Amino acid sequence: MTKVSMTVNGKAASGEAEGRTLLSSFLREELGLTGTHVGCDTSQCGACVVHVNGVAVKSCTMLAAEAEGAEVATIEGQAAPDGTLNVIQQAFQDHHGLQCGFCTPGMVMSAAALLKDNPKPSEQEIREYLEGNLCRCTGYHNIVKAILAASGQDASAIAAE
């Protein structure tokens, strides 16, 4: 085991990790940040998406040791300290972009990365960007609506499922 240190949601964080420990496991089990979900561990589902140095990453595809010294952002850091949801989280709530919620942390983190690079994505661009994020519940329509709304665009043209 070696000590791994990084900045998580703006605060210094460190813990013990084996060489093979995945960043997703480190966040959940060593730092107690269980908002990052693990649905597959094989880079399929996107439930584990976090940002590493500002880039969306499936945290089950990265070793904790590779994040040494990095700036990591997880779902726990998205709302304001008083619990006020950020614009993407609020839009998911307003547009019913979740049902069971398992995929939601990864969806929100992916959406945040998309909107950072492309503040006004089209419906098609949103659907293409989310190809790596699987949702078993919603049929995606309301997720797309939520992201359109979060970007300040009219979401009413998206047909309800």
88 binds ligand FES (CB under 6 A): no
Question: b or e along 107-133 (b: 16 or more beta carbons within 10 Å of the residue's beta carbon)?
Answer: bbbbbbbbbeeeeebebeebeebbeeb
d(CA 52, CA 4): 15
- The token pair at 33 is 């940040």
| Interacting residue with ligand FES among 2, 5, 44, 122 (CB under 6 A) | 44
| Interacting residue with ligand FES among 9, 18, 39, 94 (CB under 6 A) | 39
- When computed from its CA atoms, the radius of gyration of the chain, rounded to whole angstroms, is 16
DSSP H or E stretch at residue 35: none
Binding span for ligand FES by CB under 6 A among 65-73, 75-83, 97-105, 110-118: 97-105
135 binds ligand FES (CB under 6 A): yes
| Interacting residue with ligand FES among 38, 57, 67, 150 (CB under 6 A) | 38
Residues forming contacts to ligand FES in the complex (CB under 6 A) are 38-41, 43-48, 58, 60, 98-103, 135-138
